[in-house]
Amino acid sequence: MSIEPTRRITAPELRARKGKEPIVALTSYHAHTARILDPYVDFLLVGDSLGMVMHGLETTVPVTLEMMILQGHAVMRGSQRALVVVDMPFGSYEASKEDAFRSAARVLKETGCGAIKLEGGAKMAETVRFLSERGVPVMGHVGLTPQAVNALGSFKALGREEKDWAPFLEDARAIAEAGAFSMVIEAVAEPLAKRITEAVPIPTIGIGASPACDGQILVLEDMLGLSPRVPKFVKKYGELAGGIEAAVKEYAREVRNREFPGLANVYPLKAKA
């Protein structure tokens, strides 16, 4: 009898989900959380948000390719079913399409992940085409693009008025036409997310972009109540910070009061013969 190994979801399979069953995604940066999430999600994103969430940075700008590769590796080790998508960090893909290919090839080779994500719309379309035609599955990221925070000035939601929608639609269409298999839409008003989702033939994955998208992604630590600052749109599905604090307090209390448990149950003494 042969046991089929678990097969990972692929980028083309995710693309084929357009307009069908909603796509479930979460960020993950560690092997152990990846293992817990794997049965429930279609893809795990090793987001460059790890710079803010794991390292306490103010923005994602300082994140390096090495940081992404290290955590991408960990998430691949912890998961076996979900597609793993690794973010390309700021500075690793914008200067030229050749640079982008070199960085993306390192990510795919060194982590074994199934796709990369990069931020930007029409301006990145040529790069998206270059990568897609050379065997790199690309997830786009439009709307609010956090790596551009220094140019944008803030992380504010966009596209509240219809008169402002044209560039966002143009961005989404451009990267879809260039061969992206899916795209994240971040922090845009619901009617704009709906319009983009209707306008492109690939699945849209919303974060702060309403249920009008083909799927949803959240930053794991935000939805678990572990992040000190959380965007307004995030529903908290857990309150783990409180749980961790209560456990640590109890541990500290036991140690200080000399109530820390002994090892009698762990290493029972052997009876003498």
Strand 23-27 and strand 215-218: the pairing is: parallel
49 part of the interface to ligand KIV, by CB under 6 A: yes
Half-sphere exposure of 202 (CA within 13 A, CB side): 25
Contact partners, residue 219, CB within 8 Å, separation at least 6: 26, 27, 47, 49, 53, 207, 227, 234
87 part of the interface to ligand KIV, by CB under 6 A: yes
The span from the CA of 69 to the CA of 66, in Å, is 5
The span from the CA of 43 to the CA of 150, in Å, is 29
Nearest residue (CB) to ligand KIV, 74 versus 219: 219
48 part of the interface to ligand KIV, by CB under 6 A: yes
Strand 182-186 and strand 83-87: the pairing is: unpaired
Nearest residue (CB) to ligand KIV, 49 versus 111: 49
Residues contacting ligand KIV: total by CB under 6 A: 12
184 part of the interface to ligand KIV, by CB under 6 A: yes
The interface with ligand KIV within residues 197-216 (CB under 6 A) comprises: 207
Q: How far is the CB of 142 from ligand KIV (least distance, A)?
A: 11
Q: How far is the CB of 60 from ligand KIV (least distance, A)?
A: 6
Nearest residue (CB) to ligand KIV, 171 versus 186: 186
The span from the CA of 120 to the CA of 72, in Å, is 21
* Binding span for ligand KIV by CB under 6 A among 14-22, 33-41, 44-52, 242-250: 44-52
Instruction: Report helix, strand or coil for 86.
Output: strand
47 part of the interface to ligand KIV, by CB under 6 A: yes
* Binding span for ligand KIV by CB under 6 A among 42-50, 72-80, 103-111, 247-255: 42-50
Q: Which of 217, 220, 223, 226 binds ligand KIV (CB under 6 A)?
A: 217
User: Taking the CA atoms of the chain, what radius of gyration do you get in angstroms?
Assistant: 21
* Binding span for ligand KIV by CB under 6 A among 28-36, 45-53, 68-76, 150-158: 45-53
Q: Which of 27, 79, 92, 127 binds ligand KIV (CB under 6 A)?
A: 27
CA 214 to chain centre: 16
CA 33 to chain centre: 13
Choosing from 66, 161, 177, 186, the catalytic residue is 186
Among 123, 140, 121, 109, smallest CA distance to 45 is for: 140
Q: Is 186 a catalytic residue?
A: yes
* Binding span for ligand KIV by CB under 6 A among 43-51, 92-100, 125-133, 154-162: 43-51
The span from the CA of 97 to the CA of 103, in Å, is 10
Q: Are 28 and 45 in contact (CB under 8 A)?
A: yes
Q: How far is the CB of 261 from ligand KIV (least distance, A)?
A: 39
Which residues are catalytically annotated? 186
Q: Which chain residues interact with ligand KIV by CB under 6 A?
A: 27, 45, 47-49, 87, 141, 184, 186, 207, 217, 219
